Structure 1
Amino acid sequence: MKASLPKKHGPAPERSDCAEQAERAQPPPSALVTGASGGIGRAISRAFGSMGWHVGVHYAQNKRAAEATLRQVLSNGGTGDLYQADVREPDAVQRMVDVWRTHTPAPSVFICNAGIAGGDLLIRHSERIWNDVVATNLTGTFYCLRAVAPVLMARGGGSIVVIGSHTGFHGATGQAAYAASKAGLIGLMRTAAWEWGSHNIRVNLVLPGWQHTNMTKDIYPENGGWPDHALRRPTTLDEAARTIMYLAGLEHVSGQVWNCDSRLL
């Protein structure tokens, strides 16, 4: 008795249909955004969500605000999870990255955004404020980079974007700790780019410009206060977030400082 071929039910799918089905079967890429409970971190998370990404929403203390960010990610078409960690604690950072690695099938992008403001005139600057700002903004980023690099190496590459500040370039009265911490990020970013480029890991730093957030509300310039901006206006949160997402996707750029507004460096 001859063996018969199985009957086909309907026409065979075209190759383009097969490709689309295979693409849909792939897990979405994942981005972990530190400091995502508000401000620029929330806008970045929302932008990745709008592209269908899985977004890790990190927070330090304000879980309710992080949950609001996650709701925006979901409503924009993405998926996501919450991650709590104090970036000043290396063990907490490592645990966060380990969970991200094991619970997301395609960890691809890491956004180092967690940071705090703080400072005073140098002549009366307290060690407490100095240590807290530097520990969060600079040392915390070091802990994050050190933890995430092996994850991206194991995947054959990825992208890291560090959020810097113009204050790190030019300084600012009463902002010694903040300026020093943000200036240090440039050297840290470029060192990481040199060391990890052979692993196809891109590392860049973005200057997002002025945005009206909880961290800047007390020093945000009023209307008309943009004489140092060629376009005479600041960059919006969504504009900065789109730039950061675009930069994260560039496969040929690393070790660079990207300016998101119209101020000249």
Structure 2
Amino acid sequence: MLKNKTAFITGASRGIGKAIALAMAKNGANIAFTYVSNQTAAVETCEEIRGLGVDAEAFLCDVTDFSQAGETVKAIVARFGKVDILVNNAGITKDGLILTMKEQDFDQVINTNLKGAFHIIKHMSGPFMKQRKGSIINISSVSGLMGNPGQANYSAAKAGLIGLTKTVAKEFAPRGVTCNAIAPGFIETDMTAKLSEKAKVAALEAIPLKRMGSPEDIANVAVFLASDQANYITGEIIKVDGGLYV
């Protein structure tokens, strides 16, 4: 579905980002991805992707740094010649109730999860506009749709990402570039692994399908949105949450 395309994925050394990178590679896409700290995981992911018969390279990049994001985009375009697919996946959590949340914890989550996506989209806008084709996929969350106690910063960032998605969709549409978002529910990742058993039980009770999702559930939707089969879909927020927020 993605043969001869190049996908650029932020934060893809592990978790959902890695699953998306592998799924797109299996569908024929060359993969460029960023990581911010775990070089060992990035190298391992790169080797795994190359083992699927496509090209791949990892780039160290802190998406909260506007200039660094720009240099990384330039390096990726120079290395691969083009970018057809952009997936803004990089994200962090700094959970806590508003009563006790530190200002820096709020700012760090907003800067990474929301402003970081803006930085990458801003720097990719030139290449996308020039080639008059492209697919942008932002990884939001059902927390951005329904809110979640203890995640004011995360929910605000993911809600902002939805607004950014719709605006980018409208601005870029005349140039043939689509922009959609995926809103995962409870997915089995390192983030959800930190939840207490009580929290996990409560989550499962709230999910109509009575199970957590897998990173591959998100990756499958990302592959579809990145393919030509979805080239008339833009500005959409697709929930992948087992019915958590109906």
Common fold, TM-score beyond 0.5?
A: yes
Residue number in structure 2 paired with 1:255: 235
Please state if 1:226 is matched with 2:201: no
What pairs with 1:140-179 in structure 2 (closer than 5 Å)? 140-179=116-155
- Unmatched runs of 5 consecutive residues or more in structure 1: 1-26
Residue number in structure 1 paired with 2:5: 29
- Unmatched runs of 5 consecutive residues or more in structure 2: none
Q: Which amino acid aligns with 1:202?
A: T
How much does 1:224 deviate?
A: 8.3
Residue number in structure 2 paired with 1:19: none
Runs of 4+ in 1 over 6 A off after TM superposition: none
Residue number in structure 1 paired with 2:97: 121
**Cα pair 1:59 1:85 within 8 Å, conserved:** yes
Q: Which amino acid aligns with 1:183?
A: A
What pairs with 1:34-113 in structure 2 (closer than 5 Å)? 34-113=10-89
Question: How many equivalent pairs are there?
Answer: 239
Deviates most, 167-176 or 40-49: 167-176
Higher relative contact order (CA 8 A, sep 6+): 2
TM-score, normalised by the number of residues in structure 2: 0.92
Q: Which amino acid aligns with 1:38?
A: R
* Identity rate, percent: 29
- Where 2:99 maps in the other structure, the secondary structure is helix
Match of 1:238 among 189, 204, 216: 216
- Where 2:180 maps in the other structure, the secondary structure is strand
TM-align CA RMSD: 1.6
How much does 1:192 deviate?
A: 0.6
Please state if 1:136 is matched with 2:128: no
TM-score, normalised by the number of residues in structure 1: 0.86
How much does 1:39 deviate?
A: 0.2
Instruction: Name the larger-Rg structure.
Output: 1
Distance, in Å, in 2 between the alignment partners of 1:173 and 1:184 is 17
